[in-house]
Amino acid sequence: MTSLEELVNKNLVNGNTLELENSQIGDEGAQALAEMEILAQVTRLELGDNEIGDDGVAALMASPHISNLKILNMKSNAISEAGARAIADSPHLPNLEQLILKFNKIGEEGARYLAASEYFPRLNTLDLFRNQLGEEGAAAIKKAPFFKNLNRVRLD
């Protein structure tokens, strides 16, 4: 068993919450995690403070195993507009209710990608604090046509 598998098994709480915050898995760990079938039973994925960049996010968002996620916390990583686009373009998040991306660097363009996404029908919480969204990015989120259930939003 690899150390990532051991880390996942040790930090799987109640069979559906994966607590990997501050585990320093980086892009390589995120890419390996994306291939693990155990993700299919996870509804809450805590990946804050892990040095995950756009490549790691892209791998996770391409994974068919993330479709049961309700809460995705990727705060304090290295996610830019490309990572935000990977999240926005992922058809694997139909059950997502909370998306926490605070303290990243998605910027104005990343906010626009998220705002234009049709893939978050159940999203009710979006935290984009400290992401250099700018006025245009914040306006795009506020006017997002598909965020019908969004009731908690935190912007810059």
Cβ neighbours, 10 Å, residue 90: 21
> Which H helix or E strand runs over 98?
strand 98-100
> Which H helix or E strand runs over 73?
strand 71-73
CB half-sphere exposure, 95, CA atoms < 13 A: 14
> Which H helix or E strand runs over 18?
strand 17-19
Total domains present in the chain? 1
**Residues 26-49, buried b or exposed e (16+ Cβ, 10 A)?**
bbebbbbbbeeeebeebbbbbbbb
Give the structural domain span for 123: 3-154
* pLDDT value, residue 156: 79
Q: Which pair of tokens denotes residue 45?
A: 């994925």
Q: Provide block-wise average pLDDT over 10 residues at a time, the chain (156 residues).
A: 88 97 97 97 98 98 98 98 98 98 98 97 97 97 94 93
CB 28 within 8 A of CB 54: no
* pLDDT value, residue 2: 67
CB 81 within 8 A of CB 107: yes
Contacts of 37 (CB under 8 A, 6+ apart): 65
Residue (of 116, 115, 72, 124) closest to 93 by Cα position: 72
* pLDDT value, residue 55: 98
Q: Please tell me the pTM assigned to this model.
A: 0.97
Q: What CATH number should be reported for the domain holding residue 7?
A: 3.80.10.10
